[in-house]
Structure 1
Amino acid sequence: MIIADAYVDVAKGKTIEDAAIVISGNQITQVTQYDKLSNHNLYNVIDLKGKTLVPGVMDMHVHLSSNADDNFLAAKNQSIPRKTIKAVKNARKSLMAGFTTVRDLGSSGYAVIATRDGINDGDIVGPRIWAVGHSISVTGGHCDDNFSAPEKQIRAQGVADGPWAVRAKVRENIKYGANAIKICATGGVFSKGTKVGIQQLSDEEIKAAVDEAHMQGMVIAAHAHGTGGIKASIKAGIDSIEHCSFMDQEAIDMAVKAGTYLSCDIYNTEYTLAFGEANGVPEENINKEKLVSKAQRDSFRRAVKAGAKMVFGSDAAIYPHGDNGKQFSRMVKFGMTPAQALQAATINSAALLKQDKLGQIKPGFLADIIAVDSDPLKNISVMEHVRFVMKDGVVYKQ
């Protein structure tokens, strides 16, 4: 049993004073107050008086096998074993920051899938992971490798051209363990020679990816900065749009009507502009970040105001893993209430992943519980300093 000053009921957006959370195995069995329980001596008590409990939070857009402070170009030549070791390290950092569930949206060589399996087998420590394997891209697209010389004939493992090739790539990712899918529908910031707002996958290719993923029971995300790619992805039935930088009102209205989840990484701009050049990020990419940042935050603000479904997605790896919680304050700064920001990282993310036992402190739910110093509904910045972490009924940080 955990006792604390309070817990956050994220569904209601309220803080409930005097919390006693009874846990059996990996499940929450009772949510009450300590004085209402009889036979106190039957419980092993974790005393977190002075703290507020929050459901374990979720980040729907991370890249565990990359580090923000790596030299940008040199890191592209790292081996898959090296990337896997990074993923193991960053998975632990994410969990210790209170993120008990993450979705990894692209890593070469299935490094993160191996990391996920190691966590599930108890070999290493980390959050629950939904991993896409290789991001699916057109030749020369944002998720291809465009930095190598032509004579090297380097082609990213997620490249596919044409609807049937895209379907085959979805199937290949699933074959090797992916439990989510991602496509790159438009250009992006950290690729060479791509225009951020330009659609890359055709409408037919996007629809093929969505149909194949859904047929196989997978949630599918679309990297999409530009309005055209966003609209095409929504029309195709995509589950979540990542980045959402250049959204006109029609695109926002389409997302609201379709129930498409939006994932906007509005924290990492400051890190990229402050440290990107020192970390070897080329001028082209720095300039694209400058182009995107204000537009993305404006799109975020307008989408929140319109009532779009929003999830917490930080693009961790563009800034250091473990700092994910810093995005909560930005979400509030750019239009959300603290309750909405927490809902994005809990009940909304659970709904996107179609998980009905995650995201709340409630009987019958899995015991993913974190603790912070005070009420995050009054001061959302406390989410940057998580003091206690329980995942699946096991304490990892106290």
Structure 2
Amino acid sequence: MRRFLIAALLAAVAPVSVHAASVITADRYLDVATGRYVEHPAIFVGDDGRITGISDARTVRFSDAIKHIDLPGATLLPGLIDMHVHLTSLAEIGGYRGLQYTDNFWMAVGVANAGKTLDAGFTTVRNVGSANFDDVALEQAIDGGWIAGPRIVPATYAIGATGGHCDDNALPPSYDKKQVSVVDSPAEARAKVRWLHKYGAKVIKICATGGVFSLGDSVGGQQLSLEEMKAIADEAHMLHLKVAAHAHGDEGIRDAILAGIDTIEHASLANDATIQLAKAHHTWFDMDIYNDDYILATGTSNGTEQESLDKEKMIGLKQRQTFQRAVRAGVPMLFGTDAGIYPHGQNARQFAKMVEWGMTPIEAIRAATISAGQALGQAEDVGQIAPGRFGDMVAVKGDPLQNVRLLEHVDAVVKGGKLVARTVPAP
């Protein structure tokens, strides 16, 4: 019996046989599917950046060939996912002030913003709109190891109607130039989806209604018809792409849901019937309910036009009230911040606002992890700490289920099983 016990003990501390390039250890990790903590994890990540297995760190001894990332005292969560960012935009430069800069300036700041976003713990983002295919360029540079940043799901140009939120109404007719993303019929809409897909779009973004920062339009007025939206959704889904619809007004939200759009961005003025329709169709709401604080606090100091500020004053509180009603109704919810409308790197400030307006901490965290992975169609890649998923994690000290604001200042970021060298100061 003694020999048996000694043999069992030696087996328990034998070098791990799991094939891995690195192993991450911490006090515990959050299983976002169950909402429970798993104590003393040893999370093994292979050469391809995916998790190969999870063991109890107290029962395994690690081979010297495996890179050991030890995070004592830390709680691990899956790498966070922001479903609505604009990496090549700056909140600090708004309105006509942006015309002072060259076209390539925005790509340059996009590199810095990508680094800030990763440092803040967001290892995956959906970039829903950028000019010149800049988000595809960022994706290529990050994936190639040339620059630091999150995994990017690029939308490239956002599709909209002439004179709408995705067009440019800021200049007089003598400077008129039809934006490459403008469509004015279902046929043009289908062709535009194919063109964007050809050059790297992995999600399609549309502008179904007016917006806060577009000039000369009603923030809630519908701008794409049901037929145009359905043509876009059908074409995108045929190409295995998801579709996101910028939509503030109730009519535009409703038609986007009926057209088969996958996620509704902003969803500010959805009434109770439309909320129930979203629930019935399992259409995700992706609501940026933090940035109202920043927009109203900075006013016109960043170049924001008074017209846009007036729109935000009208819509901000209503959006948060809609969020509250949608959560209570059981609409599937996502975490999307519209970073670029407020400074990049501060994405996690929205968690507390989501809790303030009706979510529990685990619901808010799920919106930025497992739910986001599902909405992206990448549930087998991101959103959980589990075998087969990418080894993307963030570490905090303490219990984020008790204090979700801990996520505003993460202690460490791991992407693909590698510790991120954080060069940008935490916000």
Alignment of 1:290-305 (within 5 A): 290-305=313-328
Aligned to 1:364: 388
CA displacement at 1:41 relative to structure 2? 5.5
Contact 2:291 2:341 in 1 (8 A): yes
Aligned to 2:19: none
Q: Deviations over 1:48-76 (max 9, x none)?
A: 11111010010000001011111431214
Alignment of 1:299-318 (within 5 A): 299-318=322-341
In 2, Cα distance between equivalents of 1:112 and 1:276: 28
Contact 1:15 1:375 in 2 (8 A): no
In 2, Cα distance between equivalents of 1:258 and 1:245: 18
Alignment of 1:55-204 (within 5 A): 55-76=78-99, 78-204=101-227
Contact 1:347 1:360 in 2 (8 A): yes
The answer to whether residue 76 in structure 2 is matched with residue 19 in structure 1 is no
In 1, Cα distance between equivalents of 2:98 and 2:199: 24
SS of the residue aligned with 2:95? coil
Contact 2:45 2:416 in 1 (8 A): no
Aligned to 1:8: 30
The answer to whether residue 414 in structure 2 is matched with residue 390 in structure 1 is yes
Contact 2:334 2:372 in 1 (8 A): yes
SS of the residue aligned with 2:76? strand
Aligned to 2:288: 265
Q: Deviations over 1:117-170 (max 9, x none)?
A: 111122111111011111111000011100011111133221111111111111
Alignment of 1:240-389 (within 5 A): 240-355=263-378, 356-389=380-413
Gaps of 5+ in 1: none
SS of the residue aligned with 1:61? strand
Contact 2:292 2:316 in 1 (8 A): yes
> Given the two structures, how large is their TM-score scaled by the length of structure 2?
0.91
In 1, Cα distance between equivalents of 2:128 and 2:299: 21
In 2, Cα distance between equivalents of 1:78 and 1:218: 33
Aligned partner letter, 1:270: D
In 1, Cα distance between equivalents of 2:146 and 2:69: 25
Aligned to 2:3: none
- Number of residue pairs aligned between Structure 1 and Structure 2: 398
SS of the residue aligned with 2:327? helix
- Tell me whether 208-217 or 36-45 shows the greater mean CA deviation: 36-45
Contact 1:81 1:111 in 2 (8 A): no
In 2, Cα distance between equivalents of 1:171 and 1:24: 36
In 1, Cα distance between equivalents of 2:391 and 2:303: 42
In 2, Cα distance between equivalents of 1:56 and 1:148: 41
Structure 1 segments, 4+ long, off by >4 Å, are: 38-43
RMSD across aligned positions (CA): 1.3
Q: Percent identity?
A: 47
Aligned partner letter, 2:109: K
Aligned partner letter, 1:70: I
Contact 1:15 1:377 in 2 (8 A): no
SS of the residue aligned with 1:73? helix
Q: Deviations over 1:16-44 (max 9, x none)?
A: 22222222221212223211224566643
SS of the residue aligned with 1:324? coil
